[in-house]
Structure 1
């Protein structure tokens, strides 16, 4: 039995070596090899012939070719120059060459161009920052069909009260509608990753909610530090209180307001929580409306989270 396994392993390595590419684990490189899953992801994106598509981590171009067949243009972001060379070699001399634009470098540091759709097998270590880079990008795109590590995908769609419900869940769902599309086993990749994957569809809310996202993010950061504790306990922490006090004093000076006599940030915060009937609420079971109401209650009293 071990001999058969060893032979299979060496066959896989030889196959990769034939392409002249050794996959770089630090880039999270796992090439999606199953054409049915690639086809399904492209179909779920509902590509139009006029669409500009952003693809992140195109690898050797298995999905890129399918996207080029259906769209006006594909902008592929790739950090590994060897993969870029492989991709460009693949389209050279074909009608697709003129439709492909390659951006070499870290997508998190790049200025993204305009795009209608984003389709990607996302390198898992950049999942969270990438989701918010896309959702805060303007102008808004139509939708994204993205493959993530299964637990990350489940966090994206988790609802209040679910075990996996967290700050990622509520921050994403404020800005977008998120749907689970399909499960993808690890054997659909070369080399297979250690975890299972899921594909999700993310559709930005258009127009976006009329909320300062930095303020919102600051509030949910405090509430979810200990998602099972009450808000009253979360807001008692000295680091939280000193940050809110600093922000309140800045708000007063910018608006030519005198600081109230015997000012006490702790009492002020407790009063706001009490009047909003929120002191005994726990982040794990609060929905978007609960947090919007709480943010308005704090902002109305001049307390800000940025």
Structure 2
């Protein structure tokens, strides 16, 4: 008696060599990796873009190249063909194994060194050039780590999110000009190399990308300024980049308290006496305290009403009537007195800052309009008054 015929389940293995394989089996065959986009795994698949990135680095046969995030090695193999050695720093062990396997059994195997770990926490050995399809999450830390090295790389060719790249290259007055722009351009020369569309990656990211070249300043061009000092001052200036300098420096309790603490340390290190006595006023409190009322400082300065950055230039008459009424109402509101006693030291700090802003002619200027020379003059004047940062 013959066997009864049973229906074959969908997706089961083919019973004959002439049967076509199922679609799911084909999909499983092509799905080698499940990319983790949470750590920026977007593999560059366009060979033309990879060739252009390596070409823009102007590699020498004696160069040691650091590559951050090599992925599957599409850029790595091109670097190995032109450089003496490649140090690949990879977070994902699967990708580290893939790039190692890609050059295994070839002459390039001896030229590749793989560092497994977080690029920001890993101590890099000496290298000459950095090339990276940078994970977007570590863009800013990686840039500052490269610039703060005792011997920074000769050049860095880095791919970033388009907006981040535009911030790096922004100039005073641009909408994207910020603390990052000033810091990077102060210590390095930054230029935009090319745009890279999202279709050049697998899986494609949600944003466009750009490649930039960063060349640290060396020799006489290298600034002899402490990064902690310079960046500490910029943090205050760009806390609200559309505020005038007076509102940024004197319109916040936190800023004045921080400066006072730093000044105490400076006086202690230089044996300078401090007068902590309380000023005898009518109310016994600081009548000109740095209270902010709906985004304005105590004297009504500033350009932010109700928490909104109005960013209105002088002479503009197209301000909505609602904001004009809100500003008039804020100016007529009585100031809330502070409960903190006004000491002579706090009074001295305010007078020092006002003096510096007047002398540098930056009192009514906005941070987004200042260039690095303005910030250098401001830092020198503050240091001369014993006000330090970092």
The TM-score, its normalising length taken from structure 1, stands at 0.93
Equivalent positions of 1:73-152 (< 5 A) are 73-152=85-164
Bigger CA radius of gyration = 2
Counterpart-to-counterpart distance in 2, 1:281 and 1:259: 32
> Of the candidates 29, 35, 44, which is equivalent to residue 56 of structure 2?
44
Q: Deviations over 1:141-176 (max 9, x none)?
A: 100011111010001000000011111111110111
Q: Deviations over 1:159-213 (max 9, x none)?
A: 0000111111111101110000101110000111111111100000113211011
- Give yes or no for contact 1:32–1:188 (8 Å, CA) kept in 2: yes
Q: Kindly indicate whether residue 369 of structure 2 is the aligned counterpart of residue 285 of structure 1.
A: yes
Shift of 1:256: 1.1
Note the C-alpha offset of 1:15: 7.3
Alpha carbons 1:273, 1:279 under 8 Å: kept? yes
1:163–1:15 CA distance, 2 compared to 1 (3 A): farther
Contiguous gaps of at least 5 residues in structure 2: 1-22, 277-343
SS in structure 1 at match of 2:81: helix
TM-score by length of 2: 0.74
**1:16/1:60 CA distance change after superposition, 3 Å:** farther
- Alpha-carbon offset, residue 259 of structure 1: 2.3
User: Aligned residue for 2:211?
Assistant: 199
- The Cα RMSD (Å) is 1.6
Q: What's the offset of the Cα at 1:66?
A: 0.3
**In 2: Cα distance, 1:195 partner to 1:26 partner:** 14
Q: Which of 226, 244, 249 does residue 259 from structure 2 map onto?
A: 244
CA distance in 1, matches of 2:45, 2:68: 16
CA distance in 2: counterparts of 1:243 and 1:79, whole angstroms: 38
Provide the residue aligned with 1:53 in structure 2: 65
The residue number in structure 2 matching 1:225 is: 239
Contact 1:16–1:22 (8 Å) recurs in 2: no
2:229 counterpart residue number: 215
What is the aligned residue count? 295
Q: Out of 40-49 and 134-143, give the one that drifted further.
A: 134-143
1:3-56 per-residue CA deviation (whole Å, 9 max, x = no partner) reads xxxxxxxx9x96795362110112110000111110001010000000000000
- For the pair 1:269 / 2:353, whether they are aligned, the reply is yes
**Alpha-carbon separation, structure 1, partners of 2:36 and 2:26:** 16
Give the structure with the higher percent helix: 1
Determine helix, strand or coil for the equivalent of 1:114: coil
Provide the secondary structure at the position in 2 that maps to 1:179.
Answer: strand
Q: Which residue of 2 aligns with 1:256?
A: 271
1:80-105 deviation per Cα after TM superposition (whole angstroms, max 9, x unaligned): 00000101111111111111011101
Report the CA distance shift for 1:304/1:123 in structure 2 as closer, same or farther (over 3 A). same
Contact 1:31 1:59 in 2 (8 A): yes
Structure 1: runs of 5 or more not aligned: 1-10
1:171 — aligned with what?
A: 183
Over 3 Å counting, the alpha-carbon distance change for 1:43 and 1:211 in structure 2 is same
- Give the secondary structure class of the aligned counterpart of 1:268: helix
Give 2:312's aligned residue: none
